[in-house]
Amino acid sequence: MLNKVFSICEVKLFFQFILLSVTLISCKPELETADLLATTTSDDRYISMKEVHMRVPAGVPTEIFGQTFDQYMAWFDQNMMGQSKATARIAGQDRSGWELLTQEEIMQLIINASSKYPDLSRHPLRANDLARIRKDFPDIKTEQDVDKNGQFIFDYYSDLIKLDIAPELAKRMKAKKGGKMASSLSSNPLENALIAWNPTSAQAVDNARTMIESIIESPSFFGGSGNNDNHNANAFKHAAWNALGVWWIIEFRGNKWVALDKMKMFATAHETVSVCDGCPRYALGYLFDDGYTITGTIPTSDDIAGDRTAMDLHNNMVGRTFMYNEVRTGWFGIVTYRPGFDRILNYLKEYACTSNRKHYRNEVLNYYGNDYGALTDWNYSADYRSTFLVSLPLNNRDGSRNDNRVDDVPCQ
């Protein structure tokens, strides 16, 4: 009897071992380079960028550091997708590949890859993370040095994560193009490409989104009603998401200005419905400070889609403007003060409760000189535009009641 029990246990152990192996093999993304990076080798190179001396690990192409969006797109097409003629444009023929991925799978790859690099959101840094940074940046000795060069170090590791996840992204794109998902264009391609290009910022923005989703569903904020669209609680949600996104990018040691810029980029990209060459509708304008133009479309019609887009873009900017006004910086751009979560949430909740205006699309645009470029492209607003949130009127433009609109929720 005892022998039988042992034999069953052994069999169970055997299957558990097999199961564990299958789990590890089937779930582990193919991240080829990251493990090698922590160890310096004679093939490493040391270069200076922006007056910072940094290690380029063996096998890492120098060109991946500091790529603009179009450079990244071209690099990805040529080196990952094997295209001889790169489009350098998300709007080109590579678009369907980015559309096939989900944000969730890109974020999962980023989270897996980032665990191999220093956690820059730690204050103070862990000892082994600081040691790794010293190895990668020979001139950086102390945590204060890290703070002084925070944005550069942030970008360096973000670029390495970008490199790590690229082969797996390409593999999945190719597999989905040839598989059952080929007809399923499921995502916002611009958002996906931006996430892959900016892994660390994307993580920060994702942290903010997850946080605000959780907050808005809790009864303590607007009775858990914020996930419905078009009313004051949803306006709060958009503003708080943008403010928290800025907060999180700074937490990862990004600087204030880049934080505002990146948050704007992700928030505006989310409102684009399509990205294409020669779109018949609205050209989104200069989404990036390097002058790269995204020709895309956002809803600009005098209906719910246009109303909602203008409302969301405005409310997003209110959150960024709050952080622009609140965050203080000192020497080397080091952030000396930023508001805590309580202040961010309570301040913006107050806006939603006391400074909420009901506007259609054209009324929102009036505040921006009827210029969609301002609404989509400003990182923040330095004047009265930032002092109120917007939700949608309950009536149609002709004055008739619209039963599909949701009234503002009571503040509680």
Partner 1 sequence: MKNVAVFTITALLLVVSGCISSIDPVETEVLIADFSVPMRKEITSADHRNNMITYWLQGTISEPVTVRVRYKNPTAGNAAGIFTEEIPKGTYAGNDLPSKRQSDYYGRNEELIIEVTAPKSTVGQLRIRFSVQ
| Contact positions vs partner 1 (CB under 8 A) | 8, 11-12, 15, 18-19, 22-23, 26-27, 102-105, 107-108, 181, 184-188, 206, 209-210, 213, 217, 219, 222-225, 227-230, 234, 237, 270, 273-274, 276, 279, 281, 297, 299, 301, 303-305, 312, 402, 404-406, 409
Minimum distance of partner 1 from residue 304's CB (angstroms): 5
Minimum distance of partner 1 from residue 226's CB (angstroms): 8
How many angstroms separate the most distant Cα atoms in the chain? 86
Helix (H) or strand (E) holding 49: strand 45-49
Q: Which is nearer to partner 1, 100 or 250 (CB)?
A: 100
Q: Helix 189-197 and helix 256-271: axis angle, to 10°?
A: 160
Q: Which is nearer to partner 1, 118 or 319 (CB)?
A: 319
Minimum distance of partner 1 from residue 402's CB (angstroms): 8
Q: Helix 256-271 and helix 232-251: axis angle, to 10°?
A: 140
φ/ψ (deg, to 5) at 279? -60, 140
Minimum distance of partner 1 from residue 245's CB (angstroms): 12
DSSP letters of 209-226?
A: HHHHHHHHTSTTTGGG-T
Minimum distance of partner 1 from residue 358's CB (angstroms): 16
φ/ψ (deg, to 5) at 117? -120, 165
CA of residue 352 relative to chain centroid, distance: 24
- Cβ-contact 37, 60 below 8 angstroms: yes
Q: Which is nearer to partner 1, 7 or 144 (CB)?
A: 7
Q: Which is nearer to partner 1, 88 or 101 (CB)?
A: 101
Question: DSSP character for 180?
Answer: G
**Amino acid at site 53:** H
Q: Which is nearer to partner 1, 160 or 298 (CB)?
A: 298
Asked if the bond preceding 299 is cis, omega within 30° of 0, the reply is: no
Minimum distance of partner 1 from residue 169's CB (angstroms): 13
Tokens of 298: 């956002």
Minimum distance of partner 1 from residue 372's CB (angstroms): 14
DSSP letters of 72-121?
A: HHHHHHHHTS--SS----TTSTTHHHHHHS-HHHHHHHHHHHHTTS--TT
| Calpha distance 222→150 (Å, rounded) | 37
Q: Which is nearer to partner 1, 123 or 180 (CB)?
A: 180
User: Residue 356's CB: how many other CB atoms inside 10 A?
Assistant: 20
Closest CA to 325 of 226, 222, 401, 239: 239
Q: Which is nearer to partner 1, 32 or 217 (CB)?
A: 217
Minimum distance of partner 1 from residue 95's CB (angstroms): 11
Minimum distance of partner 1 from residue 316's CB (angstroms): 11
Q: Which is nearer to partner 1, 26 or 42 (CB)?
A: 26
Q: Which is nearer to partner 1, 64 or 279 (CB)?
A: 279
DSSP letters of 376-395?
A: HH-S---SGGGG-EEE--SB
| Calpha distance 304→397 (Å, rounded) | 11
Number of residues that this document lists for the chain: 412
Minimum distance of partner 1 from residue 183's CB (angstroms): 9
Q: Which is nearer to partner 1, 276 or 374 (CB)?
A: 276
Tokens of 201: 């910022």
